[in-house]
Amino acid sequence: MKTGAPDDALRDAGLRATRQRLTVLDALRERPDAVTAQDLHMELRQAGEPIGLTTVYRTLTSLAEASFLDVFNREGEQAFRLCGDIHHHHLVCETCNKVEEIAAAEVERWVNEVAERRGYEVTGHRADIFGICADCRL
Amino acid sequence: MKTGAPDDALRDAGLRATRQRLTVLDALRERPDAVTAQDLHMELRQAGEPIGLTTVYRTLTSLAEASFLDVFNREGEQAFRLCGDIHHHHLVCETCNKVEEIAAAEVERWVNEVAERRGYEVTGHRADIFGICADCRL
DNA sequence: GTTGTTGCAAAGAATTTGCAACATA
DNA sequence: TATGTTGCAAATTCTTTGCAACAAC
């Protein structure tokens, strides 16, 4: 029994701990990159996990709504990734799709300044960096 | 004959200046906000412009590929907006969808610092602020 | 036992493609 | 006139929904 029981997130989200949902959560825990519902479903099926595409979609959507996942809108589709904190930014490797979280105090400062100067009430912001990680540059 | 002839962009992109493409470009010039192919098509048709949805999609895609438009991936669909410079950031009003461009020297500095610290070769970044503009707050 | 969950099949929405008619250079 | 462009209809792709069988609490 390890810390951070696999179904804590589900309980917290008011979702029943079904085999399928646990499977999805486990898969997400092992990836540093963001996945698509389609891709995740295919991988799980290939790994022998019996789970329907619909369920993958529903599980990812529920977890994202409960703020357990980050949602990335790639062209045409959306990718999901486990996230700890509510607020953070990302460093994304465009080659392997790995996503690292980054702190951004500087950005927050800049956001507030700009918004105030232009008369906006801030409701959110995003600041992501795209690049090629050290491993992929080898 | 005004400066910045409406079809300069098309010429530059190696595209023929057809009535439809000029119509799309004109429409884009009048909007400070990003539009969806579907929405733009509907508006043009309602305005009596004979143009097909397929053509709107193709025109927007071509212009975006030629860097004349910015592409915003909203959930499920993508919105386009005319852009002058290759690089800039945005202040987006979530109520009226207006998009203002903002300078972000501070952000550029932050981007380079973070990337270097983590061993990434920067290929791009994005920094947008979402909020409610002064007009919409009245 | 209740009530939430699953997953198939079908519906939907956004976008792309085949192809014959047509406009631009 | 030669080649790029249009637009309809049909095909694709991602995502959602209806609903009956089923699993969690």
In chain B, what residues touch A134 (CB-CB under 8 Å)?
118-120
In chain B, what residues touch A90 (CB-CB under 8 Å)?
none
pLDDT greater than 60 at residue A4: no
Residue environment code for B74-105, b if the CB has 16+ CB neighbours within 10 A, otherwise e? eeeebbbbbbeeeeebbbbbeeebbbbebebe
Give the DSSP letter of residue B87: S
Tell whether A131 is within 8 A of chain B (Cβ). Answer: yes
pLDDT greater than 50 at residue A96: yes
Q: What is the mean pLDDT of residues A32-44?
A: 93
Q: What is the mean pLDDT of residues B35-59?
A: 95
Q: Please indicate whether residue A45 or residue A67 has the higher confidence score (pLDDT).
A: A45
Q: What is the mean pLDDT of residues A2-21?
A: 78
- In whole angstroms, what is the distance from residue B133 CA to residue B69 CA? 23
Q: What is the mean pLDDT of residues B18-24?
A: 95
Range among A15-29, B5-19, B61-75 with highest mean pLDDT value: A15-29
Q: Does the CB of B53 sit below 7 A from strand D?
A: yes
Query: What pLDDT sits at residue B1?
Result: 36
Segment A50-72, tens digit of pLDDT: 999 999 999 999 999 988 998 88
pLDDT greater than 60 at residue A84: yes
Mean pLDDT over the full length of chain A: 86
Q: What is the mean pLDDT of residues B124-138?
A: 86
Which residues, including other chains, have CB under 8 Å from residue A15's CB and lie 6 or more apart?
A: A21, A62, A66
3-state DSSP assignment of residue B135? helix
pLDDT greater than 90 at residue B42: yes
Residues by Cβ under 7 A, strand C: A 15-16, 18, 20-21, 50-55, 58-59, 76; B 16-19, 36-38, 53-54, 57-58, 61, 76-78
In chain B, what residues touch A75 (CB-CB under 8 Å)?
71, 73, 78
Q: Which of A124, A130, A134 sits opposite B130 (nearest CB)?
A: A124
Which residues, including other chains, have CB under 8 Å from residue B128's CB and lie 6 or more apart?
A: A125, A126, A127, B89, B90, B91, B92
Confidence of residue A1 (pLDDT cuts 50, 70, 90): very low
Calculate the CA B17 to chain-centre distance. Answer: 20
User: Per DSSP, what are the bridge partners of residue A132?
Assistant: B121
pLDDT greater than 60 at residue B2: no
First CA to last CA distance, chain A: 38
Q: Please indicate whether residue B125 or residue A106 has the higher confidence score (pLDDT).
A: B125
Nucleotide nearest to A23 (CA to C1'): C6
Segment B86-101, tens digit of pLDDT: 567 888 887 787 888 8
Q: Which of B137, B80, B33 is nearest to A115 (CA)?
A: B137
Nearest residue, CA→C1' of C22: B18
For the ranges A48-62, A113-127, B5-19, which has the lowest average pLDDT? B5-19
Q: What is the mean pLDDT of residues B131-135?
A: 89
Q: What is the mean pLDDT of residues A22-27?
A: 96
Confidence of residue B129 (pLDDT cuts 50, 70, 90): confident
Mean pLDDT over the full length of chain B: 86
Query: What pLDDT sits at residue B5?
Result: 60
For A28-34, the CB contacts below 8 A with 24+ separation are A28/A69, A28/A80, A28/A81, A28/A82, A29/A82, A31/A81, A31/A82, A32/A98, A32/A99, A32/A100, A33/A81, A33/A93, A33/A96, A33/A97, A33/A98, A33/A99, A34/A70, A34/A72, A34/A79, A34/A80, A34/A81, A34/A97, A34/A99
Calculate the CA B101 to chain-centre distance. Answer: 11
Query: What pLDDT sits at residue B3?
Result: 36
